[in-house]
Chain A
């Protein structure tokens, strides 16, 4: 269970929160317009940016910023890998940096997702890089995986593959996935609970039934009603 308590972060004239949430589902969708604060929330949850106020706890244990850097994985759509080296080289770095790193899990996940370990990341496709982010999240034994625009730049085949992988991983393990995307149909088909941000504030939190109740239809209709209100 992930508990976010009065999380607040200021950035120039933008304020995120305060956000208070208790998340128990394995697949959670986070949606909102550009500038709503999705990436800011992810950065704060992952410990990448310092939060101004509030706390984050997982299964009752309070997580410091360094704890979050270890236990919350932020896999975003952009290419953050070193192009000149291979997937294997990246794993070697992470092996020394993450305290709970499991090399066997990493190797098995590479094989399972058909990622050639000796391929340079600079020569890999967007789909392969997206899957590699999941390999890293699994091998470091993250409790929470934050996926920011995971389907960006993926071809239809890779999109389906990535969605299926995330769904399978969520069903077979204890990992919680929070998926942020503008692709509302993908989010709706994958997730069980939905969060909607607007101007840094959480304006909707509910499951599929709540979405229908609020909008009378799909997540897209809710988004158009609430996010742009």
Chain B
């Protein structure tokens, strides 16, 4: 099983290397830009929060699942001798891994440049697992259920909604860590429930589309 996981992971890295490079570049660019321009630290933290927490897990499934789906290569994946659950696990693992890499690079650079204090770092580290897995699951589930273009609409709504929330609540996050944490847990649980539902609906039976019947 691990062999299959690794083979698919390597293939996806090779196929989607431009996306990987783009995200990592952007993750490096945010703190670097902030350092050079001397921008307000709170805003930078918000950007980091928004990009690394929300954008990456939302964008990456579009590449890893949605893009395959619209190109027809989802057929190649569903033709492999893997159960639907295993396939979803592979894709979710990739999204979480990709998010974690981009997050780590971005935060490490920001921290090295002195843009993040220890309390900011603690908040990032606590909030990361609460956000990554559910959002990745939700996004992957959406892309497995809907064609990529349709799935983008709810994802954009989720993305901008959460981005706005993160910007608004960031000062609260800094001042009242517990309240923000409860909010994060609530969001995570909602996303997880939605993701589990959507993923199950899709994976239990992938049917040919009407055009193919």
Question: Interface with A: B1-9, B35-43, B123-131, B182-190, which one?
Answer: B1-9
| B203: nearest chain-A partner, CB-CB | A50
Measured in the bound complex, the distance between the Cα atoms of B80 and A211 in whole Å is 37
**Surface stretch bound by B, among A23-31, A70-78, A165-173, A213-221:** A70-78
Q: Which of B51-59, B158-166, B204-212 contacts A (4 or more CB under 8 A)?
A: B204-212
> Which residues 154-213 of B sit at the A interface, judged by CB distance below 8 A?
204-208, 210, 212-213
- Of residues 60 through 103 on chain A, the ones whose CB sits less than 8 Å from some CB of chain B are 66, 69-70, 74, 76, 78-85, 89, 92-99
* Chain B CB within 8 A of A57 CB: no
Contact residues in B for A48 (Cβ distance below 8 Å): 75, 78-79, 206
Chain B residues contacting A14 (CB-CB under 8 Å) are 210, 213
Are B3 and A89 in touch, CB under 8 angstroms?
A: no
The answer to whether B73 and A97 have CB atoms under 8 Å apart is no
Q: Indicate whether B22 reaches chain A with its CB closer than 8 angstroms.
A: no
A97→B213 contact, CB < 8 A: no
Decide: B11 and A85 in contact? CB cutoff 8 A: yes
Contact of A97 among B14, B78, B81, B208 (CB under 8 A): B81
For residue B15, CB closer than 8 A to chain A, the reply is: yes
B117 at the interface (CB under 8 A from A): no
Proximity string of chain B (39-77) to chain A, C-beta cutoff 8 Å, 1 when within and 0 when not:
000000000000000000000000000000001110110
The answer to whether A80 and B76 have CB atoms under 8 Å apart is: yes
Q: Within 8 Å of chain A (Cβ to Cβ): is B113?
A: no
Write the A12-36 contact mask toward B (1 if CB under 8 angstroms, else 0): 1010000000000000000000010
Q: Decide: B81 and A11 in contact? CB cutoff 8 A.
A: no
The 9 closest A-B pairs by CB, nearest first: A96-B7, A69-B81, A70-B81, A80-B75, A50-B205, A80-B76, A97-B80, A39-B212, A93-B11
Chain A residues packing against B (C-beta within 8 Å):
11-12, 14, 35, 37, 39-40, 43, 46, 48-50, 66, 69-70, 74, 76, 78-85, 89, 92-99
Complex A-B: 27 CB contacts under 8 Å? A11-B207, A11-B213, A14-B213, A35-B213, A39-B208, A39-B213, A40-B213, A43-B208, A48-B75, A50-B204, A66-B81, A69-B81, A69-B82, A70-B81, A78-B75, A80-B76, A80-B79, A81-B73, A81-B76, A82-B11, A82-B15, A83-B71, A85-B15, A92-B7, A93-B7, A96-B3, A96-B4
